[in-house]
Every structure is written in C-alpha cells, then in structure tokens.
C-alpha cells in the first residue's frame, strides 16, 4: 500500500526529525475502549477496518489512558532497539520512571492491572475492501516475566522484568509505525479521547500530505457518525448522541492541538462532517522523492 510504503521509508528520517515515540498504525485507526467495558470482548472500527479485543476472563479488556501509554512505550522501545524483547527494569518504580509517571498509589495498582490486561489480550484486525476480506489475529506479547515486589515498588529484583512482543505484533509495528511525541501522550493521559485524537490527527495529516503530493484531492470530509464509530465511547447512535460526541471531540481536539498547533488552521467542522486539509507534518521528515 502507498501509505504503508511511505511511512516505512520515512522511519529513519523521523528519528532525526524530533520523533520521541512511535505507535502501531492499526491502533491509531481503531482504538482501545475509554472506560471499562465490563466484558471480555470489545470491538471498534470503521467500514474498512475493525479492531476487536478478546480478553482473558480473569483480567478483562485493557482500557483508559494508561494502556495507551504502555502501548506507546512498547512500540517506541521496539522500534528504537529493533528488538521485540523489552526491558521493564528491576522494580515497578523503575518502570514508572521509564513511563515518566509518579511513583505513588494512583498508578501502582493500575499499572500492574493494565499491564496484565494488555499482555493477556488477543487483538483481531480485520479489513474489508469491496468483496475482499482480510483478518489477522495478533497477540501483543509472546511471553512476560514480571518480578515486581508486591510489598514495595522500590525493592529491586534479582533479574530484569521483561516483555517479549509476539512476532506478529512486532512485524505489524515495524511495517509502518506512526511517529509521535511521547511527551504529548504523557500530557494528555487523563483523557483517552484526547490521546486518540492526537495520534489519529498525526496519521491523517501524513496520509493527506502523501495524497496531495501525488496529485490526489488534498481534502478529507469525515462524517461525525464515522468518527464516533472509530473513536467514540458509549455514545448513542442518535442525533443527540452524535451531537454529544461532536461537542466532546471538539473539546478534546483543542487539547490535542496544543501539541500539534500547525494543524489548527487546517481543520473545519460542520454539522455533519469534520473537514481536514493538509497541514505541516507534526514530525517533518522529507518525503521520499516519489512522494514529492
């Protein structure tokens, strides 16, 4: 695919152009739940791509801002080290520092809970284009060794805790990671929707830039109903529900634009659509010659 090829070619340039993080593309196109779905199965997506999560019944589906931050850290470490084996450190406090989170009771229990939810979940990514249908099952982690003390977050273990990404997840990530800035996700972590909007906007502006450089129409008219299906959470598919989502989206969009101000003048909303035109890339490596 053109977009996938362009993103893969830009990986090295992005590293030197200010990228401090990376995110899996399929997790940008369809996102985790914002709140606990209270079920062992969750599905979200568009008419072209659907992401479904099957959780271990003992633990449940990962949700909220923390697993998004965990996934971003996992993706970033895997891309930078070019290895599916990720070191979490010898204590929970060391890993909290890696995530730039406070070592306090607010995060300690949730970090352990959401980490287990993530590594015990199976993700299915399915896509449809006309009569063609494609499905891929992806386990995030092949194995995990967590040696954190349950009594104190500072007590070091004899060995590093680690997570080994599954080869499927590692390959899907390396194929076309989305360059982001980790400091933006950390700042937005209290709002999962703002985190999703930020990563989605970075990706969509990249695709619009690639399309416009190849002579295609450089404008995207995105129905609010489609955005709600892709990014929303617990909104009724009614005129009132769509309007509530639209209002919340616009509020969280303002927060995301603090970290991507170049896109502000390239976004317009109408009653039925969000309209995007190509903005300066958030992380601005040179496009390959064939894309200019």
User: What are the tens digits of pLDDT across the range 238-278?
Assistant: 999 999 999 999 999 999 999 999 999 999 999 999 999 99
Residue 265 and residue 194 share a domain = yes
* Contact present, 244 and 235 (Cβ < 8 Å): yes
> 195: domain CATH number?
3.30.1370
CA 265 to chain CA centroid, Å, is 24
For strand 267-269 and strand 273-276, is the pairing parallel, antiparallel, or unpaired? antiparallel
Q: Could you tell me if residue 62 is inside a domain? A: yes
The sign of the torsion formed by the CA atoms of 223, 200, 133, 120 equals negative
What is the pLDDT tens value at each position of the chain, 292 positions in all?
444 544 554 555 555 445 689 999 989 988 999 999 999 999 987 777 888 999 999 999 999 999 999 999 999 999 999 999 998 887 777 888 888 887 776 777 888 889 889 989 999 888 766 555 566 788 899 888 765 555 555 555 545 788 999 999 999 888 888 999 999 999 999 999 999 999 999 999 999 988 887 777 779 999 999 999 888 777 888 999 999 999 999 999 999 999 999 999 999 999 999 999 999 988 865 433 333 3
**Structure confidence at residue 144 (pLDDT):** 81
Give long-range contacts, CB 8 A cutoff, 24+ apart: 154-159: 154/91, 154/93, 154/103, 155/91, 156/90, 156/91, 156/94, 157/90, 157/91, 158/90, 159/90
**Per-residue DSSP letter, 18:** T
Residue 206 and residue 138 share a domain = no
Last residue of a domain, one of 130, 147, 176: 176
Name the pTM for this structure.
0.86
Q: Could you tell me if residue 285 is inside a domain? A: yes
Residue 158 and residue 239 share a domain = no
Residue 198 and residue 117 share a domain = no
**Structure confidence at residue 148 (pLDDT):** 56
**Structure confidence at residue 290 (pLDDT):** 37
Q: How far apart are CA 45 and CA 31, in angstroms?
A: 8
Q: Could you tell me if residue 78 is inside a domain? A: yes
Q: Could you tell me if residue 204 is inside a domain? A: yes
Residue 147 and residue 48 share a domain = yes
Residue 57 and residue 148 share a domain = yes
What CA–CA distances, in Å, run from 75 to 25, 48, 56, 86? 10, 24, 22, 10
Residue 253 and residue 127 share a domain = no
Q: How far apart are CA 253 and CA 159, in angstroms?
A: 42
Domain with 227, as residue range(s), is 187-291
């Amino acid at each position: 695919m053109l977009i996938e090829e362009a993103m893969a070619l830009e990986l090295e340039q992005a590293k030197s152009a200010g990228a401090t993080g990376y995110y899996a593309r399929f997790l940008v196109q369809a996102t985790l739940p914002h709140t606990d779905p209270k079920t062992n199965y969750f599905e979200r997506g568009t008419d072209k791509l659907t992401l479904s999560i099957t959780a271990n019944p003992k633990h449940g589906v990962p949700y909220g801002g923390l697993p998004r931050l965990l996934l971003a850290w996992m993706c970033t470490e895997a891309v930078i080290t070019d290895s599916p084996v990720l070191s979490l450190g010898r204590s929970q406090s060391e890993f909290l520092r890696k995530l730039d989170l406070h070592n306090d009771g607010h995060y300690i229990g949730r970090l352990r809970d959401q980490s287990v939810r993530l590594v015990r979940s199976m993700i299915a990514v399915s896509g449809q284009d006309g009569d063609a249908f494609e499905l891929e099952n992806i386990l995030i982690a092949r194995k995990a060794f967590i040696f954190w003390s349950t009594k104190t977050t500072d007590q070091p273990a004899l060995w590093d805790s680690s997570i080994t990404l599954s080869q499927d997840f590692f390959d899907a990530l390396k194929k076309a990671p989305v360059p982001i800035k980790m400091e933006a996700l950390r700042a937005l972590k209290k709002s999962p929707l703002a985190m999703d909007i930020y990563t989605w906007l970075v990706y969509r502006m990249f695709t619009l830039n690639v399309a416009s450089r190849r002579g295609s129409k450089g404008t995207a008219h995105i129905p609010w109903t489609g955005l709600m299906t892709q990014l929303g959470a617990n909104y009724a598919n009614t005129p009132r529900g769509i309007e509530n989502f639209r209002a919340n989206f616009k509020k969280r969009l303002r927060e995301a634009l603090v970290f991507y101000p170049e896109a502000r003048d390239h976004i317009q909303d109408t009653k039925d659509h969000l309209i995007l035109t190509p903005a300066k890339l958030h992380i601005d490596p040179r496009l390959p010659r064939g894309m200019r």
